[in-house]
Structure 1
Amino acid sequence: MFDPERQEQERQDLAEALKGLRKAAGLSGERLAARCAISQSKISRIERGKTLPSVIDVQRILDALGVTDEVAKQLLSLARTAKVHYKSSRSYAEIGLWRKQDELKALAETSKVIRYFHPAAPSGMLQTRAFATQVLTPTVRGRPARNVERTVDARLGRQEVLRDQSRTFTFLMTEQAVCWQRAPRDVMAEQCRHLAAMSEWENVTIGIIPNRVQIPVVPLNTFIVYDERLVLVEIFSGEVVLRDPQDISYHLNLFDAFLERALVGKDAIAFLKSVAHAFMREHD
């Protein structure tokens, strides 16, 4: 559905189409800017392909130009497609999976409020070395090979940003994400104790969604919301980055709906410690 090689071309196609429509309407960039209440400098950047406009920006420009419904439909569809970026796990494997960890670290370091939703396993930002090693070691045929040790080091390096008290981190995960045994029981117990300890940090909130509560929707994918500027959605074969304001708003609402049903604070800590105890009891 998504082809990363076409993204830049779609961006340029959109820019050229909007510029062509403005010229066909006999408007200068300044006059168009006044009509749609967007700065002239931004209109210029959009038309040169330097700024990727939001779908709302494109709608305002098209309304100001008075284009036909058919033309508007085509360009709005192109705008939505251009706001989505897909990168496969294979492409990361070719350059080194540890580079993905560096990209995620850079995203966190340029954000103030970060929200993580993990339905199947704890976030890499909260993983112990032993658990991360288990998770990152390929076990399924066809999964891209990777330098596990280097990737684990990079993943643990990402966690340094958690010490920055100017940023806030909220991690939501399902009970299943905590309890599914992805590693030996002693490693699972250590991971749960680590999550409980991280819950004590002032700028970190960890929420656990119990199996017994009624959930608003089926938790299909991991996603991360960086401030209110982009959403990263993880799927089995790679990841999708969403920048459209409507997509971002939807994921923020989804996150809040799950957070309302989660155990947090002392309740989350007590739950995590009980799971750690259960893993150790079974290990013994």
Structure 2
Amino acid sequence: MRKHLHTTAEPVYARQQQPSPKLGEFQVTLQAWLNTEQHLPRAQRRTAQRLFEGLQVEGYRGAYDSVQRFVKQWKSVKNGPTTTQAFVPLVFASGDACQFDWSHEHVEIDGVPQTIKVAHFRLAYSRQMFVAAYPRETQEMVFDAHNRAFAFFGGVPQRIIYDNLKAVVEAILVGKERRFNRRFMAMANHYLFEPVACTPASGWEKGQIENQVGNVREWLFTPMARFASFAALNDWLALRCRELSQREHPTERTQSIAEHFAREQPLLRAFSATFDGYLEQMLRASSTCLVRVDRNRYSVPAE
């Protein structure tokens, strides 16, 4: 700077490589991790942040930026240059919208490794999230997930944004027109919220929840979570959602997500009773007192 203050020529920034003196001795470890994890499924690979935290355990005292640059350079050499799409960020009013999505995760329940479904909710204004785990993705579980989420939030937003999942949308018509599932609409009318279905293959219309799916997989399900039952897993997930809300808000850096949620919560619509999401159907009992439900047989009283 002192040199260029005494000249009229335009300064030229000539440095071609960012030095990383503190990362130097840890580069071998970091590269070994990257080489090992490139053969794992994408969901099980650590991000630059998780690699940085791992290096801190090994004794690294440098900055995260050095690790991030190293990982980015390693990926560019390995995969070649990539193009990035640009999007206009969406802005939501307080109490207005919530986004919903499913993800599949790998956990161990009562000693048995299995793939489960996780329901994700995210209030678009405050970024407060809620997740709940289920063995499958049936309509009854969609209803139960909404009951749990509204109880966790202490109210109902005006709109909820969905993919075109079958439990919600029966038919995709022209443009934004949809024919919603009648049973699902009964729940929407019970809680008085407006369902909104995204355009097919347009994940950016609910980009917050798409981003949350990847973050939750990294934060909560890597390495594999192990619990005795689904009840214990869901209790832990609700606790972690409250803990993660202490992080800083992504746009208002001076405040936490919890502080934003405290302002948004009074604007959510209150409800007095949860929706009963059971499905009722007439069944014939066999001569051995069994009924068949969802490809399973259950015994019933002989009388």
TM-score of the superposition, structure 1-length normalised?
A: 0.26
Give 1 or 2 for the bigger CA radius of gyration. Answer: 2
